[in-house]
């Protein structure tokens, strides 16, 4: 989710907006000044309509509010963006084949952290199989059974074949558990282990990779089975699959967690930007839509309301309770040590 997506519903839900603002077709209709007629009366290139102008100023206001929030907390906390990454799936020392099996085979990846704003980013998928041709790799959420993606790896027999994925799978501050599997019913694979050593922490003949953020292991499942966790069989290899991943912090989700509080300052900021545009519009000057004094007064009024409202909100927002991605900065101290 982008930062702007957090704000989308704020102009579609009347209860989140000031009483005088009625969302209509994505435009704030305000009988006191800003309406579609007013927007159309001031637009000039590159905007083709009043709606284009509004959307541009809306996006600009979101960026400015986001920057203001980040600046406000910059001197109070340290932010991590990348918590760690690794490659899952390593060929064994001895090149050996694993026979085809009427199963879907691959890797399970699980993020169990529910206190931090963390997401799973998959950079590449590599298959080393005894097969030449396109191999679909399907991504399932095994908590819901839903298919998330279908990714095709163009394979050359016996050679590691890589697909650049560059996709983010969001945890939304809850458990994330996905599998990436392909149909191994007619494909021999090269012996590949989830870790370099083959077994990181072994229990009940199962092979796992564990760190502070993620657990991973090889899996197989019948293609006809529902894709739920209880249907998975953990195995000691990965079907020739290798995944390059990272666990990343998501500051946008933290912002989204209190975005409902920002409806009013967003309204004020968009209005300020529109009136500022109107002041500079040559089309308005030519048609004498509104006098500059009135526009300047409206712009200053909304700018003051925006600053006051956002400052009040920021002063009452607590730092996130997320010790993985956000940490309070230690204040520097000067001490005199006497001999």
Would you say residue 333 lies in a domain?
no
Would you say residue 337 lies in a domain?
no
In the prediction, which pLDDT does 141 show?
Answer: 96
Q: Looking at the structure, do residues 186 and 51 belong to the same domain, yes or no?
A: no
Q: For the domain that residue 213 is a member of, what is the CATH number? A: 2.60.120
In the prediction, which pLDDT does 203 show?
Answer: 43
Would you say residue 338 lies in a domain?
no
Q: Looking at the structure, do residues 192 and 297 belong to the same domain, yes or no?
A: no
**Domain stop point among 232, 251, 270:** 251
Lookup: tokens for 53: 């102008």
Q: Looking at the structure, do residues 91 and 214 belong to the same domain, yes or no?
A: yes
In the prediction, which pLDDT does 1 show?
Answer: 43
Q: Looking at the structure, do residues 168 and 236 belong to the same domain, yes or no?
A: yes
Percent of the chain with pLDDT over 70: 76
Structural domain count of the chain: 2
Answer yes or no: are the C-beta atoms of 49 and 283 closer than 8 Å: no
Give residue 145's region: left, alpha or beta (phi > 0; psi -120 to 50): left
In the prediction, which pLDDT does 33 show?
Answer: 63
Mean of per-residue pLDDT scores for the chain: 80
Termini Cα distance of the chain: 57
Would you say residue 71 lies in a domain?
yes
pLDDT in tens, the chain (339 residues): 444 556 655 554 333 333 333 333 344 444 456 778 888 888 888 888 888 888 899 889 988 988 888 788 776 666 556 677 888 998 877 778 899 999 999 999 998 776 677 889 999 999 999 999 999 999 999 999 999 999 999 999 999 999 999 999 988 778 899 999 999 999 999 999 998 765 444 444 347 788 878 899 999 999 999 999 999 999 989 999 999 999 887 777 777 777 788 888 888 999 999 999 988 887 766 555 567 888 888 899 999 999 999 999 988 877 666 666 766 665 544 445 555
Give the DSSP letter of residue 339.
-
330-338, Cβ contacts within 8 angstroms, sequence gap of 24 or more: none
Lookup: tokens for 79: 């932010």
Would you say residue 318 lies in a domain?
no
Q: Looking at the structure, do residues 239 and 296 belong to the same domain, yes or no?
A: no
Q: What is the enclosing helix (H) or strand (E) of 41?
A: helix 36-42
Which residue segment(s) compose the domain that 93 sits in? 82-251
CB atoms within 10 A of CB 46: 8
The per-residue pLDDT for range 227-266, each reduced to its tens digit, is: 999 999 999 899 999 999 998 877 777 777 777 888 888 8
Q: Looking at the structure, do residues 39 and 178 belong to the same domain, yes or no?
A: no
**Domain stop point among 205, 234, 251:** 251
């Amino acid at each position: 989710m982008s930062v702007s997506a957090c704000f989308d519903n704020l102009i579609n839900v009347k209860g989140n907006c000031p009483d005088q603002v009625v969302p209509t077709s994505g435009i704030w209709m305000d009988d006191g000044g800003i309406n579609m007629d007013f927007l159309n009366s001031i637009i000039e290139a590159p905007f083709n309509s009043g709606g284009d102008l509004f959307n541009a100023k809306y996006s600009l206001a979101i960026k400015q509010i986001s920057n203001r929030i980040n600046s406000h907390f910059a001197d109070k906390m340290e932010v991590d963006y990348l918590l760690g990454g690794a490659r899952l799936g390593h060929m064994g020392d001895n090149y050996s084949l694993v026979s085809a099996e009427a199963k879907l085979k691959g890797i399970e990846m699980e993020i169990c952290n529910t206190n931090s704003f963390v997401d799973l980013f998959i950079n590449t998928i590599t298959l080393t199989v005894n097969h030449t041709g396109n191999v679909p790799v399907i991504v399932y959420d095994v908590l819901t059974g839903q298919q998330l993606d279908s990714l095709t790896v163009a394979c050359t027999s016996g050679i590691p074949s890589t697909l650049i994925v560059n996709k983010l799978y969001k945890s939304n501050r809850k458990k994330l558990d996905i599998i990436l599997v392909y149909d191994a019913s007619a494909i021999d694979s090269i012996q590949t282990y989830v870790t370099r050593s083959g077994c990181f922490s072994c229990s009940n003949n199962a092979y796992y990779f564990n760190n502070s953020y993620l657990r991973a292991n090889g899996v197989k499942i019948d293609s006809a089975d529902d894709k739920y966790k209880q249907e998975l069989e953990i195995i000691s290899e990965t079907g020739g699959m290798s995944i390059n991943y990272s666990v990343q912090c998501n500051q946008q989700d933290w912002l989204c967690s209190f975005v409902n509080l920002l409806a009013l300052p967003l309204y004020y900021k968009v209005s300020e930007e529109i009136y500022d545009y109107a002041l500079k519009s040559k089309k308005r000057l030519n048609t004498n839509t509104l006098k500059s004094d009135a526009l300047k007064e409206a712009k200053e009024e909304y700018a003051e309301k925006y600053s006051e409202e956002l400052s009040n909100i920021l002063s009452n927002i607590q730092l996130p309770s997320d010790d993985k991605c956000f940490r309070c900065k230690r204040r520097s101290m000067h001490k005199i040590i006497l001999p």
